[in-house]
Structure 1
Amino acid sequence: MPDKDKKTAPPAPEPLRVAVADSHTHLDMQQGSVPQALAQAAAVGVDTLIQVGCDLAGSRWAARTAAAHDAIWATVALHPNEAPRIVHGAPEGSYGGALEARGTAGLDQEIDEIDALAALPQVRGVGETGLDYFRTGPDGVAAQQHSFRRHIDIAKRHGKALVIHDREAHDDVLRILEEEGAPDTVVFHCYSGDAAMAKVCAERGYYLSFAGTVSYKSAQNLRDAVAVAPLDRLLVETDAPFLTPVPYRGRPNAPYLIPVTLRAMAAARGIDEDTLATAIAANTASAFAY
Structure 2
Amino acid sequence: MAKNDEARPIIIKKVKKGGGGGHHGGAWKVAYADFVTAMMAFFMLLWLLNVSDKETLEGLADYFTPSSASVSGKSGAGKPLAGASIAASGLANASGSITPISGPPPTSKPDQNRDSKAADNAENPQADFEDKLKDETNEAMNALEETLRQAIQDSPELAQHKDQILIEQTPEGVRIQITDKDGRSMFEPATANLYNYAKRLIREIGGITATLPNRIAILGHTDGGSFGAGSDYTNWELSADRANSARRVLAETGVSSDRFSEVIGKSSSEPLYPNQIMRAENRRISILVLREAPVVLPNARR
TM-score class, shorter-chain normalisation, is under 0.3
What TM-score, normalized to structure 2? 0.27
Judging by fraction of residues, say which structure has more strand: 1
Relative contact order, higher structure (CA 8 A, sep 6+): 1
State the structure with more CA Rg: 2
